[in-house]
Amino acid sequence: MKSLLLGLLISSVAMAAELKVGDSAPLFKAKTFANEDFDLAARKGQWTVLYFYPKSETPGCTKQACTFRDNIKAIRDQGADVFGISADDVAAQAKFHEHHKLNFTILADPDMSVIKMYGSKMPLLGMSKRWTFLLDPELKIRYIDHSVDPVKDAGKMADLLKEMKK
């Protein structure tokens, strides 16, 4: 049992280490907070901020979402859009989106398939780590932040976009 648990932890770490800057972003489909279909492949030709967060309506996740809400213009002015994703279901995401008057799309990943694909699953927990990916118009990963500050993430992404587009 101990070796199985150790193996799971090692494979989780290995999975997280797989994605790196320059890699193609794993393509996925998910449901939005409005129960509409989202397909990352449709974002080709546009910059994309994809941020993973642990759980809707928790303090850090709320701060992060509200900071993206308040800074969305600076990001969209750079030709990008923001998509948040957590393991919450569509109903929880809809409540979170409405409660905080979010002006960008959040995605539901209750089976954690996307979270696992991007390597952000917390070992032994049904939640994602707080990671942010910046994808270029070719859907290549241009930046990965594994040490996200929820209050500074939106501003950091706006600044990175501005710098990368020079």
- Where do the domains of the chain lie, and which CATH numbers do they carry? 2-164 (3.40.30.10)
| Torsion angle in degrees (nearest 10) through CA of 65, 33, 58, 162 | -20
Rounded to an integer, what distance in angstroms lies between the CA atom of residue 151 and that of residue 157? 12
User: Which residue type is seen at 98?
Assistant: E
At residue 6, the pLDDT reads 37
pTM of the predicted protein model: 0.88
Q: Would you name the residues annotated as active-site residues? A: 61
Whole-number pLDDT of residue 9? 40
Whether 68 contacts 104, CB under 8 Å: yes
pLDDT digits (tens), the chain, 166 positions: 444 333 434 444 444 448 999 999 999 999 999 999 999 999 999 999 999 999 999 999 999 999 999 999 999 999 999 999 999 999 999 999 999 999 999 999 999 999 999 999 998 888 999 999 999 999 999 999 999 999 999 999 999 999 987 7
pLDDT of residue 4: 38
pLDDT of residue 93: 97
